[in-house]
Amino acid sequence: MGISELWQLVDRPRPSARSVKWLYLLCALIIGGAMAYVGMRWEDIPSRVPTHWGVDGPDDFAPKSISAVFMGSFVFIGTIVLMVVVTGFATYAMKQNESEAHPVDRRLQSALNRVLTAKMIAYISLALALITAVIQVCSALPQYQHVMDGMGLFIGVMILVLVVLVLLLWWASAQTRGLQQAIEKAQQAGRMPQGAEVEGVNDHYKFGLFYYNPEDPRITVERRFGIGIDFNYAHWQGKLFAAIIIGTVVACVALPFLLS
């Protein structure tokens, strides 16, 4: 039975990630617009541009250059590219759990998790794009630099990020609970078979957190704690994902020392 037919069994519309590409396009327009505006005002930028703000205002400067002026935007673009790659890899892995080889309830849960993951990352990227655009303009152009003084902008950014995360988690949790209730209702009505559980699933968690079971064909599994999904690290997709995360963390820690 196709995945579209399964959604009909639970009387829910099939989730779609079509809006994700438009969200990333909006991110590109926001950052591109901020960089273009600063570029058009290039003559207004002083010969030394602030690169760091403390409580009392800018406390570190660099000679005016493309890298110094647009460093924040370049970092954001690199971060978004990494997030898109990781998200694409994760959603591809989750899509493998939607094949007919898996129980129908897991197929639906995996399909929903795949869309939720893509949308949540896209909305977080949009929030970061707005923040980066404001910082890009205010840090480069003297007439706006007063916005960066003090802790007001920092506190505002933290509040915005927190609100976005809370709303996204609430939305994802509501979607997950709604699907689970719909699946249980369909199973009780006899429209869907009961899901099969993997025996001894708790015995396959390394350090109590990382699922590792070579005999389980699933590439992703429901998280042991909280909501969402995680990889089955016995498969190459999980190992690659772990390597990317570890490599990113190591690079972030080592980069400041390498550049100093």
Q: Percent of the chain having pLDDT more than 90?
A: 13
Residue pair 108/52 in contact by the 8 Å Cβ criterion: no
Please give the full DSSP string across 87-104, using - where no structure is assigned. HHHHHHHHHGGGSTTS-H
Task: Supply 102's token pair.
Answer: 């898996």
Rg from Cα positions in the chain: 23
Q: Give yes or no for residue 68 having a pLDDT over 50.
A: yes
Q: Give yes or no for residue 26 having a pLDDT over 90.
A: yes
Averaged pLDDT score across all residues of the chain = 81
Q: Give yes or no for residue 86 having a pLDDT over 60.
A: yes
Q: What is the mean pLDDT of residues 43-65?
A: 84
pLDDT of residue 195: 57
pLDDT band at 224, cuts 50/70/90? low
pTM of the predicted protein model: 0.73
Q: What is the mean pLDDT of residues 60-77?
A: 89
pLDDT band at 228, cuts 50/70/90? low
Q: Give yes or no for residue 202 having a pLDDT over 70.
A: no
Q: Give yes or no for residue 227 having a pLDDT over 70.
A: no
Exposure letters 26-46 (e unless 16+ CB within 10 A, then b): ebeebbeebbeebeeeeeebe
With a CB cutoff of 8 Å and minimum separation 6, the contacts of 9 are 104, 186, 191, 192
Q: Give yes or no for residue 196 having a pLDDT over 70.
A: no
Residue pair 118/131 in contact by the 8 Å Cβ criterion: no
pLDDT of residue 22: 92
β 57-63/205-206 pair status: unpaired
